[in-house]
Amino acid sequence: GFKVPHEATKRCRDIHEAIEFCTLWESQREAYPYEIDGMVLKVDSLELQSRCGATSHHPRWAMAFKFKAKQATTRLLDVQFQVGKTGAVTPVAKLEPVQLAGVTVSSVSLHNEDFILSKDIRIGDMVLVERAGDVIPYIVKPLTDLRNGSEKPIEFPRSCPVCHTPLARLDGEAAWRCTNYNCEAQVLQRLIFHVSKDAMDIEGLGKANIEKFYQLGWIRSLADIYRLDYDRIAQLEGFGEKSAANLRAAIEKAKKNPVHRLLHSLSIHHLGKRASRLLAAHIDHVLDLKDWTEEDFTRIKDIGPIVAQNVRAFFQNPENIRMLQEMEALGVNMRPTEDDRPPEPAEEGPLSGKTILFTGALQHMTRKEAQERAAAAGARNVSAVSGNLDILVVGEKAGSKLRKAQALGTVQILSEEEFLKLLGEDGSA
Ligand SMILES: [Zn+2]
């Protein structure tokens, strides 16, 4: 027979408690090492069981609670080609809207030409779509048995759909790129990325407002964001004094951001969050990077030659330097803040020699405090799950990092309480 994991069963006092337990499991099913599609509710009193009775197929005292479906089939209506912030042209499938794990899905990325060719996806196909946990929806496969001959192959463009520059495919890359740095689509995507949550995190200045200000001709470069005319914004339809003032406050706040955010916000190809943090920890001023050689970059552990080349190329371009100087003159911080410098591990402590990473929402302290405590106990904070990670501390709603650590099997996984206990503190401290 099957082994039944004991934490997955619970005796509930009433139906409300049972519903709560099922909902809890539905929300955390991705973190469970086995694929599950629902739960079984049983009445455990023999007396009530006999009163429930049975149909001709099954007893009435045991019922299945099915989780929301993670897969669905729908029709692929069309494919559009979008130009990203680094010029990569991404095919996006437009779907007949379909319900999937509680949300309506009407478009999914097809990633690149190889993905389309390897799956032989065609316009007009019925496709199987899946959405699992925090993973974005994707096409598993076309249902080729349902074809009637009217399906059309997807033709990949040979020039940029926006600026018409011929597309290029670099060695070892799956993406076709528009190589025109001043391509309007790229400029706009870079502006949108700059203000996004992952980058400068400017609240109230999302995609729609960037597009509006761009169309009005108010912003062309990243620096323009920091010299917006708030009086004119207040007069725009849908704005007014209050939202213009809120926007100003959000932009003023962003000017003080740690420089790892600024570096990441520049849309330098392959310079992700992690590499941005590594660079930020090694400079005194962002513009120092214009004097760096490729070796200066690769001397930093975990900065590879491709990131080194791309960052160096960006800082060798006088136009970019001018833009950063303008931003600094407008008040954008270029010097590492406390947040840019990871706490140094203490030489001795209960965690000395260990690497540690925090994921999910912590209840007793902020992420920063947790990292400081870990460092004070001798641990070195790292930013990714890998074979080099010793301890993963898991808060609420932990996602892909927890799954990756579980899959590795070599990482010690601790709750926040267990982490505090390890430091000799309890949760109430
Ligand atoms: Zn273009």
- Number of helices (H) and strands (E) in the chain: give both, helices first: 15, 15
> In CATH, what class is 355-422?
alpha beta
Query: pLDDT per residue over 302-316, tens digit each?
Result: 899 999 999 999 999
Q: Ligand 1 centre from 83 Cα, in Å? A: 7
Is residue 40 a contact partner of residue 15, using CB atoms and an 8 Å limit?
A: no
Collapse the DSSP code of 202 into the 3-class scheme (helix H, G, I; strand E, B; otherwise coil) and give the result. coil
Residues of the chain with pLDDT > 90: what percent?
Answer: 64
* Position 85 confidence tier, pLDDT thresholds 50, 70, 90: very high
227 Cα to the center of ligand 1, angstroms: 27
Ligand 1 geometric centre to CA of 39 (Å): 50
Q: Which of 23, 147, 127 is nearest to 77 (CA)?
A: 127
**How is residue 313 written in tokens?**
């190329």
The half-sphere exposure of 128 on its side-chain side, counting CA atoms within 13 A, is 11
User: What is the ipTM score, two decimals?
Assistant: 0.99
The reported pLDDT for the residue numbered 429 is 40
CATH number of 6-66: 3.30.1490.70
All structural domains of the chain with their residue ranges:
6-66, 71-153, 202-253, 259-340, 355-422
Q: What percent of the chain has pLDDT over 70?
A: 97
Measuring CA to CA, how many Å separate 144 from each of 77, 120, 155, 166, 325? 15, 9, 19, 33, 56
For residue 386, report the distance from its CA to the centre of ligand 1, in Å: 37
How far is the centre of ligand 1, averaged over its atoms, from the C-alpha of 86 (Å)? 10
Q: What is the DSSP letter of 137?
A: P
Q: Are strands 355-359 and 391-394 parallel, antiparallel or unpaired?
A: parallel
Residue 195 has pLDDT above 90, yes or no: yes
Over 90: is that where the pLDDT of 257 sits?
yes
Distances (CA, A) of 204 to 260, 261, 420: 21, 18, 37
Answer yes or no: CATH 1.10.460.10 is held by domain 202-253.
no
Distance in Å, CA 412 to ligand 1 centroid = 47
Residues 6+ apart with CB under 8 A from 226: 251, 255, 327, 330, 331, 332
Q: What's the confidence (pLDDT) of residue 3? A: 63
Decide if 405 contacts 391 (C-beta within 8 A): no
* Rounded Cα distance, 236 and 248, in Å: 15
d(CA 323, ligand 1 centre) in Å: 21
| DSSP-assigned letter for residue 217 | T
**2 has pLDDT over 90:** no
Ligand 1 centroid from CA 114, angstroms: 21
- The tokens 């513009």 sit on which residue? 287
Fold identical between 259-340 and 355-422? no
C-alpha 182 – ligand 1 centre gap (Å)? 8
pLDDT bracket for residue 94 (50, 70, 90): very high
Q: In which band, very low, low, confident or very high, does the pLDDT at 427 lie, cut at 50, 70 and 90? A: very low
Outline where 256-304 has alpha helix (H). 259-265, 273-280, 294-298
pLDDT value, residue 9: 84
Task: Compute the average pLDDT of residues 60-73.
Answer: 84
What digits encode the pLDDT tens for the residues 349-372? Answer: 889 989 999 998 898 888 888 988
CA of 167 to the centre of ligand 1 (A): 8
Bigger pLDDT: 133 or 330? Answer: 330
Report how far ligand 1's centroid is from the alpha carbon of 122 (Å).
25
What distance in angstroms lies between residue 166's CA and the mean position of ligand 1's atoms? 8
CA–CA dist 407, 33 (Å, integer) = 9
CA of 91 to the centre of ligand 1 (A): 14
Question: How many Å apart are CA 241 and CA 246, to the nearest integer?
Answer: 9
Q: What class has domain 259-340?
A: mainly alpha
More confident residue, 360 or 8: 360
Q: Which CATH code is given to the segment(s) 71-153? A: 2.40.50.140
Q: Please give the distance, rounded to the nearest whole angstrom, from the Cα atom of residue 157 to the centre of ligand 1.
A: 12
pLDDT in tens, 110-151: 999 999 999 999 999 999 999 876 678 999 999 999 999 999
Dihedral, 29, 32, 38, 39 alpha carbons, nearest 10: -120
- Could you tell me the distance, in angstroms and rounded to a whole number, from the CA of residue 264 to the centre of ligand 1? 22
Query: Cα(90) to centroid of ligand 1, in Å?
Result: 12
